[in-house]
């Protein structure tokens, strides 16, 4: 199975380059702590940086990402249960 991949995007609406880079660094740090234990292999994750990311306390960012991943697992689990099984010959 392919490894999990991560993308981070921050638009110019967040601020100048210094602010955008700070948001990226914070999101990368949060992802490095949370994703290894909660992300699934073979999935792509995209984190979208917002202006509030700069002022949000770091522990809250950890909790936010953990909750988001839990919601995705629950939603995907239901979707995968409804999806018919693939035959062995098809990708």
pTM, full prediction: 0.80
Q: 23 Cβ partners below 8 Å, 6+ apart?
A: 10, 14, 49, 50, 51, 53, 54
Give pLDDT, residue 62: 97
pLDDT of residue 4: 92
The CA-CA-CA angle for residues 30, 76, 72, to 5°, reads: 25
The pLDDT value recorded for residue 7 is: 97
pLDDT of residue 88: 53
Predicted confidence at residue 71, as pLDDT, reads: 92
Who's near 51: CB < 8 A, 6+ residues apart?
A: 13, 14, 15, 19, 23
Q: Give the CB-side neighbour count of residue 30, counting CA atoms within 13 A.
A: 29
pLDDT at 23: 98
Q: Digits of tens for pLDDT over the chain (91 positions)?
A: 889 999 999 999 999 999 999 999 999 999 999 999 999 899 999 999 999 999 999 999 999 999 999 998 888 775 565 555 555 555 5
């Amino acid at each position: 199975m392919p490894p999990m991949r991560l993308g981070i995007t921050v638009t110019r609406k967040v601020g100048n380059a210094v602010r955008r880079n700070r948001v990226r660094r914070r999101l990368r740090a949060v992802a490095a702590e949370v994703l290894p234990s909660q992300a699934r292999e073979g999935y792509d994750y995209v984190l979208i940086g917002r202006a509030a990311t700069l002022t949000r306390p770091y522990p809250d960012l950890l909790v936010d990402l953990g909750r988001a991943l839990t919601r995705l697992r629950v939603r995907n689990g239901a979707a995968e249960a409804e999806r018919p099984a693939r035959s062995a010959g098809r990708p």
